[in-house]
C-alpha cells in the first residue's frame, strides 16, 4: 500500500507502518505525527525518534519501549507522556520503521 | 488507521509462582504499549507478586509441573526448587526479561494501575505497608467488578 505524507509517496503495510525506512524524512515524520494526533514534535520527541531510527538500522528490528528507554535516556514515564496513545506502536509509526516485535 | 479505539484490560493475577507471575504483567504492559488502559488485581497467591518481602524471591515449582523435564521423585528433593528458580531467572536475564520487581515499576511508569485484593491482604495478615509502593490501593472484589466495567477481563 502507498500513502502520501508531506508530498512524498511512501510504502506502508496494512496497519500503516512504513515498510521502507529510507523513504522517511523529518517532514514525513511530522506529517505522520500530525495524522496520529500528536501535534508538534519537541526536542524530546526527536531524541526518541532519532534513537529508534538508528537502533532499527543497526539491529535490523524496531525497538520496544524498554529498549528505547535504555538507549535514548528518556524515562519510561516521559516516553508515555510524549507518546500517550501507546509508545509501542506510535514511536515506530512516527519514526517510519516497522511495528516492533518486542513484547517489552 | 489513525483513530484506534481505546480498549481496557483488567487482569486478575491469582498465582504467586515465578512462572505464573509473568503472563499477567507482560500482557498488561503490552496493553499499555499499544495505548490501551490496563489494571491489575492481585489476589490470593498473586498477592506474593506485590508483597515487598516476597517479590524478589518468587519460586518456580518443578513439583507437579508437567512442563519441567524432571522426574517427580527428583523434583521433590530439597534444593531442586531453588535450582529450578535460579535457572529460570538466569535464562530470563539472558533474554533481557526484567525481574518481577522491575516489571512492576515499569508497569507503574507506563500508567497501568495495580490493586491488591482486600480479602487476600486480610487473610495473609498484611497491610498496605507490606506491599510494593506501586500498588495504588487495596480494593474489594466488588470494587474490582465496578472498576473493570467495560474492560476485557483476563484471569491468570
- Tens of pLDDT, residue by residue over A61-78, are 999 999 999 999 999 999
Please report residues of B whose CB lies closer than 8 A to that of A86.
Answer: 32-36
What is the rounded distance in angstroms from the CA atom of residue B60 to the CA atom of residue B79?
A: 12
Q: Assess B4–A contact: CB distance below 8 Å, yes or no.
A: yes
**Inter-chain touch B1–A15, beta carbons under 8 Å:** yes
Instruction: Name which residue leads in pLDDT, B74 or A96.
Output: A96
Which of B35, B97, B109 lies at the smallest CB-CB distance from A89?
B35
> Mean pLDDT, to the nearest integer, of B25-38?
96
> Mean pLDDT, to the nearest integer, of B68-86?
87
Cβ atoms of A104 and B31 closer than 8 Å: no
What is the rounded distance in angstroms from the CA atom of residue B55 to the CA atom of residue B132?
A: 8
Cβ atoms of A52 and A95 closer than 8 Å: yes
Cell of A81: 507522556
Which of A66, A77, A89 lies at the smallest CB-CB distance from B34?
A89
Helix extents (H) in A14-86: 26-35, 43-59, 65-72, 76-82
Cell of B73: 521423585
**Helices A87-95/A26-35 angle, 10° precision:** 140
DSSP 8-state assignment for residue B37: E
Q: Of A16-30, A74-88, B30-44, B81-95, which range is least confident?
A: B81-95
> Band of the pLDDT at B1, cuts 50, 70, 90?
very low
What are the residue ranges in chain A where pLDDT is below 70? Answer: none
What is the rounded distance in angstroms from the CA atom of residue B103 to the CA atom of residue B97?
A: 9
Check if A103 is active-site.
Answer: yes
Predicted confidence (pLDDT) at residue B105 exceeds the cutoff of 80:
yes
What is the rounded distance in angstroms from the CA atom of residue B95 to the CA atom of residue A97?
A: 23
Cβ atoms of A63 and A44 closer than 8 Å: no
| Percent above pLDDT 90 for chain B | 76
Cβ atoms of A62 and A98 closer than 8 Å: yes
- Among A29, A42, A55, A85, CA closest to B2: A85
- E strand spans, chain B: 8-13, 37-42, 113-117, 135-139, 152-155
Which of B4, B6, B110 lies at the smallest CB-CB distance from A76?
B110
What is the rounded distance in angstroms from the CA atom of residue B37 to the CA atom of residue B110?
A: 10
Residues 6 or more apart whose CB falls under 8 angstroms from that of B41 comprise: B10, B11, B12, B13, B115, B116, B117, B139, B144, B148
**Inter-chain touch A89–B109, beta carbons under 8 Å:** no
How confident is the model at residue B4, as a pLDDT?
58
How confident is the model at residue B66, as a pLDDT?
84
How confident is the model at residue B2, as a pLDDT?
43
Torsions phi, psi of B22, nearest 5?
Answer: -70, -45
- pTM of the complete model: 0.91
Residues in chain A: 104
Amino acid at each position: 500500500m502507498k500513502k502520501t505524507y508531506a508530498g512524498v509517496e511512501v510504502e506502508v503495510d496494512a496497519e500503516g507502518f512504513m515498510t521502507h525506512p529510507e523513504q522517511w524524512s523529518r517532514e514525513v515524520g511530522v506529517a505522520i505525527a500530525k495524522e496520529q494526533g500528536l501535534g508538534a514534535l519537541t526536542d524530546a520527541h526527536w531524541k526518541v525518534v532519532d534513537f529508534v531510527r538508528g537502533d532499527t538500522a543497526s539491529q535490523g528490528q524496531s525497538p520496544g519501549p524498554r529498549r528505547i528507554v535504555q538507549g535514548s535516556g528518556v524515562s519510561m514515564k516521559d516516553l508515555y507522556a510524549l507518546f500517550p496513545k501507546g509508545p509501542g506502536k506510535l514511536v515506530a509509526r512516527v519514526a517510519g520503521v516497522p511495528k516492533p516485535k518486542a513484547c517489552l | 488507521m489513525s483513530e484506534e479505539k481505546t480498549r481496557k484490560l483488567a487482569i486478575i493475577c491469582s498465582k504467586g509462582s515465578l512462572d505464573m507471575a509473568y503472563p499477567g504483567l507482560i500482557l498488561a504492559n503490552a496493553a499499555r504499549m499499544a495505548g490501551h488502559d490496563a489494571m491489575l488485581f492481585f489476589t490470593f497467591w498473586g498477592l506474593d507478586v506485590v508483597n515487598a518481602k516476597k517479590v524478589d524471591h518468587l519460586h518456580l515449582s518443578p513439583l507437579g509441573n508437567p512442563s519441567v523435564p524432571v522426574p517427580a521423585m527428583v523434583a521433590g528433593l530439597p534444593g531442586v526448587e531453588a535450582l529450578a528458580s535460579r535457572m529460570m531467572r538466569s535464562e530470563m536475564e539472558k533474554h533481557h526479561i526484567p525481574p518481577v520487581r522491575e516489571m512492576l515499576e515499569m508497569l507503574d511508569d507506563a500508567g497501568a494501575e495495580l490493586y491488591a485484593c482486600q480479602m487476600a491482604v486480610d487473610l495473609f495478615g498484611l497491610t498496605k505497608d507490606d506491599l510494593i509502593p506501586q500498588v495504588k490501593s487495596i480494593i474489594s472484589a466488588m470494587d474490582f467488578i465496578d472498576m473493570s466495567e467495560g474492560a476485557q477481563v483476563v484471569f491468570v
